[in-house]
Amino acid sequence: MKLVRYGEPGQEKPGLIDAEGALRDLSAHVPDITGATLDEATLDRLRALDPAELPPVAGTPRLGACVGDIGKYLCIGLNYSDHAAETGLPIPEHPILFMKANSAIVGPNDDVYLPRGSESSDWEVELGVVIGKPAKYVSEAEALDYVAGYCVCNDVSERHFQTQLSGQWTKGKSCDTFGPTGPWMVTRDEIADVQNLSMWLDVNGKRMQNGSTKTMIFTVAQIVAHLSELFTLQPGDVISTGTPPGVGMGMKPEPVYLKPGDVMEVGIEGLGEQRQDVKMDA
């Protein structure tokens, strides 16, 4: 299933994308797509519905983040071997973890606003993992059983804030609008091999990132298992699992960063595409 949330910010309704790509309303069956509705029993109940009998949604409404009321937005750094190589940094021994503030989360096609004074804002296409049930001390072998589904994330990053303002990477990752998430959550059963998905990101129509989840250093299962040893993963938590090469910071001979007027287009095989206009915050 492709589960989606549509409507104005703060007023999103639950929906489903049918086999023809049409948006169908799920409001009569679940109040929203959140951690409270990602358990297997609820997902099985939604799978049993006939999409043709669900009310069609007219027009092209705004899409919100594909999961509402996200508890924790967890991010893994330097998790692609080819991206680590372009940064010149060593392969990490354990997953590098940082947080993205929930106030950064926006819909997949919402505008991205560069913070005041930003001259080093960057793009990062990433695979998002949505947790479906509480995970604590789970093994790698069982880790994917705790995943409800997957989505596209753009881990927008202000590199000066991230690396030069002291403290954690979170500073450069948490600016308002720096977490486009969606367009939809694709349930786990529809992705045959999460470690073999092509992914890409264009800026102004030019392909900047062109990678695959097969070059992940730590797999989704390894990440979920590792994080569950540190704290309980809760339903509705999102893990953004790292980016392939091609970020602006790694461009040669000089870095290339986002500026007002730019357009980012972001996609992952089987998970849909995003589009963001870049603007300067007031």
How far is 240 from 102, CA to CA, in rounded Å?
13
Environment class of residue 63 by beta-carbon count within 10 Å: exposed (0-12), middle (13-18) or buried (19+)? buried
Reported in sequence order, the residue ranges of 23-104 that DSSP labels E, i.e. its strands, are 23-25, 73-77, 96-99
How far is 272 from 152, CA to CA, in rounded Å?
7
DSSP 3-state of 53: helix
Whether residue 15 sits in one domain with residue 141: no
**Is 177 part of a structural domain of the chain?**
yes
Whether residue 162 sits in one domain with residue 91: yes
Whether residue 165 sits in one domain with residue 91: yes
User: According to the model, what pLDDT value does residue 210 have?
Assistant: 97
Q: Which two tokens stand for residue 175?
A: 């600016």
Whether residue 138 sits in one domain with residue 226: yes
- Domain of 128 in residue numbering reads as 73-280
**Is 63 part of a structural domain of the chain?**
no
Give the total number of structural domains in the chain. Answer: 2
Q: List, in order, residues 6 or more apart from 140 with CB less than 8 Å away.
A: 221, 222, 225
Pairing of strands 272-280, 112-114: parallel
**Is 246 part of a structural domain of the chain?**
yes
Q: Which two tokens stand for residue 26?
A: 């799920």
Counted residue by residue, the chain has a size of 282
Whether residue 131 sits in one domain with residue 19: no
Whether residue 162 sits in one domain with residue 113: yes
Domain with 254 in it: what CATH number?
3.90.850.10
Whether residue 151 sits in one domain with residue 88: yes
Whether residue 260 sits in one domain with residue 160: yes
Whether residue 125 sits in one domain with residue 204: yes
Model confidence, pTM: 0.96
Q: List, in order, residues 6 or more apart from 92 with CB less than 8 Å away.
A: 77, 78, 79, 84, 217
User: According to the model, what pLDDT value does residue 55 have?
Assistant: 98
**Is 79 part of a structural domain of the chain?**
yes
**Is 67 part of a structural domain of the chain?**
no
**Is 62 part of a structural domain of the chain?**
no
How far is 226 from 206, CA to CA, in rounded Å?
36
Whether residue 256 sits in one domain with residue 209: yes
Whether residue 180 sits in one domain with residue 112: yes
For each of the chain's 282 residues, which pLDDT tens digit applies?
A: 999 999 999 999 999 999 999 999 999 999 999 999 999 999 999 999 999 999 999 999 999 999 999 999 999 999 998 887 777 778 899 999 999 999 999 999 999 999 998 999 999 999 999 999 999 999 999 999 999 999 999 999 999 999 888 878 889 999 999 999 999 999 999 999 999 999 999 999 999 999 999 999 999 999 999 999 999 999 999 999 999 999 999 998 999 999 999 999 999 999 999 999 999 998
Whether residue 117 sits in one domain with residue 232: yes
**Is 87 part of a structural domain of the chain?**
yes
Q: What is the number of other CB atoms lying within 10 angstroms of the CB of residue 102?
A: 15
**Is 225 part of a structural domain of the chain?**
yes
